[in-house]
Amino acid sequence: MARRFDFKYYCSEGFHSIFTHGFMSFAAVCMIVACLLIMGSFSLVAVNLDHMLGDLEAENEFLAYVDESYTEEQAQALQSQIEAVPNVSQVTFVTRAEAMDDFRAGREDNELLESLPDSVLRDRFRIHVVDIEQLQATSEAVEEITGIAYVNAAYDIAQGFVMVRNIATGVAVVLVGILAVVSLFIIANTIKLATFYRREEIAIMKMCGATNAFIRWPFVVEGMILGLTGALVAFFVQWGVYELVAKAVIQSNGLSLLTILPFGSLALQFLLVFIVAGLLIGVVGSVLAIRKFLQV
């Protein structure tokens, strides 16, 4: 009799055993959903925090002052050179008159300033950077440009941001890692419990002369289906919970200090990650769990 890869048989066996062992399948799916939800929720918080920090960073700018001997036209001509510097995202030219207006704003009662000519201030560029971590290098590069007298960048603040962000990322990675390990452990045990009920069945198959592959494949199919189901359920629950939380935050957030990313912008990535994680957990869990029982 031919030995062949009986795809149809493996699929139908795997599919049927989900229902014949209904409760254990249900338990396994619940575990996968719970683990994915915990990790997903945490990742969503982390992504949002990161995004908010990013917003704050984008506010960070530095000033580059133009040499006093340059006329306004000459100064303005420097803009394209500054824009060409790597890591520069946005350049705004500010004339001395505008700078003086800004300076006077809020100091209207100060008579000393009335007579102050615009020429005490320099023409300047307000420069935003893409990556705040490279602020120093970027500002130095801008300073090199002929016609720029000096730059004024707040490295301390920039470094503070970078540190906060690095700490947040580190904490997030460590926590997600711990959660992933805990999840795998719980799921492996759930599946082990599920297959424990079937060790008899496996022993019978071995006695009939079934190869390990023949026994394993239906479990792999079953694990895949359970993992996929768990992933999809977790994804939709995550979506719903996220929308609810986002609504609540926005409502209670009069000052709009917090910005919440719309779920739609993250949905595809989350769906993919959930599906891959669910499949992986299901398949790896099944294979690990039955390994012991195959040694008959």
Q: Which is nearer to other proteins, 1 or 255 (CB)?
A: 1
Residue 23 in the binding site for other proteins (CB under 8 A): no
Q: Smaller CB distance to other proteins: residue 70 or 217? A: 217
CB of 247 to other proteins, least distance (A): 47
Residue nearer to other proteins on the CB measure, 193 or 204:
204
Given the rule CB under 8 A, which of 1-9, 49-57, 86-94, 264-272 is the region that contacts other proteins? 1-9
Binding other proteins by CB under 8 A: which of 120, 167, 248, 296? Answer: 296
Minimum distance between the CB of residue 2 and other proteins, rounded to whole angstroms?
6
Cβ atoms of 48 and 252 within 8 Å: the answer is no
Q: How far is the CB of 8 from other proteins (least distance, A)?
A: 9
* Cα–Cα distance for residue pair 257/177, rounded to 1 Å: 30
Could you say whether residue 3 binds other proteins (CB under 8 A)? yes
Number of residues interacting with other proteins: please give it, by CB under 8 A. 21
274 and 40 Cβ atoms separated by less than 8 Å: yes
Under rule CB under 8 A, residue 2 binds other proteins: yes
CB of 199 to other proteins, least distance (A): 12
* Count of other CB atoms within 10 angstroms of residue 114: 8
Distance between CA 81 and CA 125 in Å, rounded?
A: 12
Q: Can you list the alpha helix ranges (DSSP code H) found in the chain?
A: 7-20, 22-59, 72-76, 79-83, 96-104, 111-114, 135-144, 155-196, 199-207, 212-251, 264-291
Closest of 10, 8, 21, 2 to residue 195, by C-alpha = 21
Nearer to other proteins, 131 or 200 (CB): 200
Distance, in Å, from the CA atom of 285 to the CA atom of 288, rounded to the nearest integer, reads 5
197-226 positions binding other proteins, by CB under 8 A: 200-201, 203-212, 214
| Cα–Cα distance measured from residue 257 to residue 202, given in angstroms and rounded to the nearest whole number | 59
Binding site for other proteins (CB under 8 A): 1-4, 6, 9, 20, 200-201, 203-212, 214, 296
